[in-house]
């Protein structure tokens, strides 16, 4: 969004943006949102559907740095990934330009590949800065080990290059993670997660800039029962982490873990709910196909050491669904969770001024929800009045199920590809991440394979004798 130098100019900008959204973007048959909506199967065109209403999709990069310093037992990378050369910056720019054309302004873009933090921080920072320059919303995805080893790596990305989002992956499949053994449980890795949470906090304090974090966890037979422990850690650290995504293993790349055949997304979701301590509405929000992901926004009310969860859309509550669907249509273009709360409040207020009927319903609905959550509200008010700890934070709970190669050509697989909201630019077209991992990644990697393989070696790194690729000087 273009910066304005005066309050009056900024308010005029918001009004103009809202007007363009109402009169042009949503009425034009050629706009990105409408095209995205029209390509969704009819049974997915629901009030709580985000794709085509609040966003086109998400995007991701590839081949920036396919090498990795871990050898995870569930990994989408190819067998030759550690022998590939990083893409030249100009080719990375081409990928980001393609994603900007597809996603539009503010498009969510994962800066990912193998382990992108193996790049020099200034090289990765240049990629982040370019993504921001052309209007994308980048999030660096990492296993985080280099961020822990190089204290100024993350502060450099945030303070010098403007990074505002980081996603770190931690789970028991990560061979090469110091201290991880065959007996390690997810709860044993909380000390690693604690270090990342502390790094997020310290980087905010050091740079004085916003930084939001998400975390991902691969789900296998080994750690399925540990999902509630991870969720409880997230609740306790919601000031640092506001997205948690669980990814059932797919049999792609160099994955050794087998997909749990009897494990459905609903089974994983039950474990998530166990960690939250409440049965949550699985269908609160849809983003693309319902067999691809479960995406549920909640509000976490923390008073003292106690957490209370307020669902945005409760199961069976039609008014919740109506208001949420209307909010997506009316406010998704003027609200940005990266912005301060007061800034979003002003943006919403400006939109409401134009539509008093929406304001009236929203006021009545707010009273209805406050009464329904009166216990949490009363506790929050009491703690605030007595100067004790009280916080309200948004949290997004996700289960994302990627496909194995044998699923792509099934009728359901084809329907999921049609509704895909997670794509990468490959040879002039956007392809789904599932297709990328199953069909394209090895071929692309071979284009950039180094003739001299001595840049990396395989070396035993843990007490189990597991092999893990480690970077060494060329």
Q: Which of 15-29, 196-210, 240-254, 271-285 has the lowest mean pLDDT?
A: 15-29
The confidence band for 461, taking pLDDT boundaries of 50, 70 and 90, is very low
Cα 419 to Cα 100, 134, 361: the distances in Å are 19, 26, 32
Decide which of 254 and 32 is more confident: 254
The whole-number average pLDDT for the span 329-355 is 74
Return the residue matching tokens 């859309």. 313
Pairing of strands 390-400, 293-303: antiparallel
pLDDT tops 80 at residue 7: no
Q: Helices H, strands E: what count in the chain?
A: 16, 13
Mean pLDDT of the residues in the chain: 87
pLDDT tops 90 at residue 32: no
Contact 398, 58 (CB under 8 A): no
The confidence band for 338, taking pLDDT boundaries of 50, 70 and 90, is low
Distance CA 238, CA 389 (A): 14
> What pLDDT, on the 0 to 100 scale, is given for residue 10?
42
pLDDT tops 60 at residue 31: yes
Contact 158, 125 (CB under 8 A): no
**CB-CB neighbours of 235 under 10 Å:** 18
The confidence band for 23, taking pLDDT boundaries of 50, 70 and 90, is very low
Q: Which CATH number fits domain 57-317+393-471: 3.20.20.140, 3.30.499.10, 3.20.20.70, 3.40.50.150?
A: 3.20.20.70
Contact 116, 124 (CB under 8 A): yes
Task: Annotate 279-292 with DSSP letters as a single string.
Answer: ---TTS-B-S-TTT
Contact 227, 272 (CB under 8 A): yes
Give tens-digit pLDDT for 54-67: 888 999 999 999 99
Residues across the chain: 474
Contact 293, 287 (CB under 8 A): yes
Contact 358, 18 (CB under 8 A): no
pLDDT tops 80 at residue 463: no
The whole-number average pLDDT for the span 37-58 is 92
Q: Which of 21-30, 84-93, 301-310, 374-383 has the lowest mean pLDDT?
A: 21-30
The full set of domain ranges for the chain reads 57-317+393-471
Distance CA 149, CA 127 (A): 21
Q: What is the dihedral of CA 161, 167, 173, 178, to 10 degrees?
A: 50
Distance CA 198, CA 385 (A): 28
Decide which of 346 and 458 is more confident: 346
**What is the sign of the dihedral through the CA atoms of 95, 108, 338 and 330?**
positive
The confidence band for 450, taking pLDDT boundaries of 50, 70 and 90, is low
pLDDT tops 60 at residue 11: no
Q: What is the dihedral of CA 23, 29, 34, 35, to 10 degrees?
A: -150
């Amino acid at each position: 969004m273009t910066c304005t130098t005066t309050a009056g100019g900024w308010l005029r900008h918001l009004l103009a943006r809202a007007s363009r959204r109402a009169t042009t973007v949503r009425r034009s048959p050629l706009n990105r949102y409408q095209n995205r909506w029209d390509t969704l199967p009819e049974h997915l065109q629901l009030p709580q559907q985000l794709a085509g209403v609040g966003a086109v999709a998400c995007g991701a990069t590839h081949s920036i740095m396919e090498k990795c310093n871990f050898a995870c037992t569930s990994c989408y990378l190819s067998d030759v990934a550690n022998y590939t050369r990083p893409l030249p910056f100009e080719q990375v720019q081409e990928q980001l330009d393609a994603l900007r054309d597809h996603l539009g302004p503010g498009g969510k873009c994962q800066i990912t590949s193998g382990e992108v933090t193996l790049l020099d921080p200034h090289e990765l920072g240049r990629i982040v800065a370019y993504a921001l320059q052309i209007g994308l919303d980048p999030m660096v995805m990492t296993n985080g080990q280099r961020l822990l080893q190089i204290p100024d790596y993350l502060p450099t990305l945030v303070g010098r290059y403007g990074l505002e989002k980081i996603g770190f992956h931690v789970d028991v499949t990560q061979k090469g993670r110091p201290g991880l053994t065959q007996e390690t449980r997810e709860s044993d890795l909380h000390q690693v997660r604690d270090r990342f949470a502390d790094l997020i906090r310290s980087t905010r304090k050091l740079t004085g800039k916003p930084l939001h974090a998400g975390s991902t966890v691969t789900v296998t037979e080994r750690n399925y029962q540990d999902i509630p422990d991870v969720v409880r850690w997230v609740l306790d650290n919601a000031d640092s982490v506001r997205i948690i995504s669980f990814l059932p293993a797919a049999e792609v790349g160099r994955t050794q873990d087998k997909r749990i055949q009897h494990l459905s997304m609903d089974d994983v979701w039950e474990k998530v709910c166990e960690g939250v301590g409440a049965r949550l509405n699985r269908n609160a929000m849809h983003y693309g196909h319902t067999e691809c992901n479960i995406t549920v926004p909640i509000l976490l009310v923390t008073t003292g050491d106690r957490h209370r969860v307020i669902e945005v859309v409760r199961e069976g509550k039609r008014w919740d669904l109506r208001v949420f669907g209307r909010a997506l249509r009316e406010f998704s273009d003027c609200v940005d969770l990266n912005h301060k709360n007061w800034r979003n409040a002003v943006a919403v207020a400006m939109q409401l001024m134009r539509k008093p009927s929406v304001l009236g319903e929203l006021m009545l609905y707010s009273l209805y929800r406050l009464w329904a959550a009166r216990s949490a509200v009363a506790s929050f008010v009491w703690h605030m009045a007595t100067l004790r700890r009280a916080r309200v934070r948004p949290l997004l709970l996700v289960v994302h199920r990627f496909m194995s190669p044998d699923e792509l050509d099934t009728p359901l697989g084809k329907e999921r590809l049609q509704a895909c909201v997670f794509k990468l630019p490959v040879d002039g077209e956007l392809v789904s991440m599932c297709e990328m991992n199953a069909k394209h990644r090895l071929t692309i990697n071979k284009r950039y394979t180094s003739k001299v393989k001595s840049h990396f070696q395989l070396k035993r790194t843990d007490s189990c004798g597991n092999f893990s690729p480690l970077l060494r000087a060329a």
